[in-house]
Amino acid sequence: MKHATACGFALSSIVHATEDSTKVLSALSNLFPPGFSKRFEITTAKGHFGNEIKIFSMKARGISHAESFLKSVLGRLSRGDRLSLREGFDLHLDHSGRLHLRFDKQEAFNGLLVLGSRDAIKAEVSFESRGTPSSLLREKVARDLKELLS
């Protein structure tokens, strides 16, 4: 039986009015393996108190890009984060088998990938598995990712 294959990914991060946009872009760029094109779309919005915020986002499609991104990100996690992810896939996989990760923005700026939840960089990885019914894709992705994290 074939493994579930990463076929696309998306990244996004909110830049608050008090943050330096170039530092957030640097943090986002640190998630990529060397040689990746890093083109972000910038959307401007209003925050809860009327302050301006920016949302940096990007999407990439294609198996080679998505697999490279996924392996790079998972390979750079600490042993503790890898174990936490491996044991808590229910918190990170949605019903369609998309993997949702949040990385600490400040740690990413410093070149480290650390799972976080507040003021985070959001990553979403999509998977395909030809020949697998969509109802079973989530379980297949979880099994394959656990193997990859071993």
Which uninterrupted H or E stretch holds 87? helix 79-87
Cβ neighbour number for residue 126 with a 10 Å cutoff: 18
User: Which residues, other chains included, contact 3 with Cβ-Cβ below 8 Å and sequence gap of 6+?
Assistant: 129, 140, 144
96-136 confidence digits (pLDDT tens): 889 999 999 999 999 999 999 888 999 999 998 777 777 78
pTM equals 0.89
Among the listed residues 9, 3, 13, 44, the one whose alpha carbon sits nearest the alpha carbon of residue 129 = 3
What stretch of H or E contains 139? helix 134-149
Determine contact, residues 76/110, Cβ cutoff 8 Å. no
Name, in order, each residue with C-beta under 8 angstroms of 38's C-beta and a sequence gap of 6 or more. 28, 29, 32, 58
Q: DSSP letters of 24-85?
A: HHHHHHTTSPTT-----EEEEEE-TTS-EEEEEEEEEESHHHHHHHHHHHHHHS-HHHHHHH
Do residues 125 and 70 touch, judged by C-beta distance below 8 A? yes
Residue 3: the pLDDT is: 75
Residue 2 confidence (pLDDT): 64
What tens-digit pLDDT sequence spans the chain (150 residues)? 467 899 999 999 999 988 999 999 999 999 988 777 778 999 999 988 888 999 999 999 999 999 999 999 999 999 999 999 999 888 999 988 899 999 999 999 999 999 998 889 999 999 987 777 777 888 889 988 988 888
What pLDDT is attached to residue 131?
74
Domains assigned to the chain: 5-149 (3.30.1440.10)
What pLDDT, on the 0 to 100 scale, is given for residue 39?
86
**Contact (Cβ atoms closer than 8 angstroms) between residue 66 and residue 60:** yes
Residue 95: the pLDDT is 87
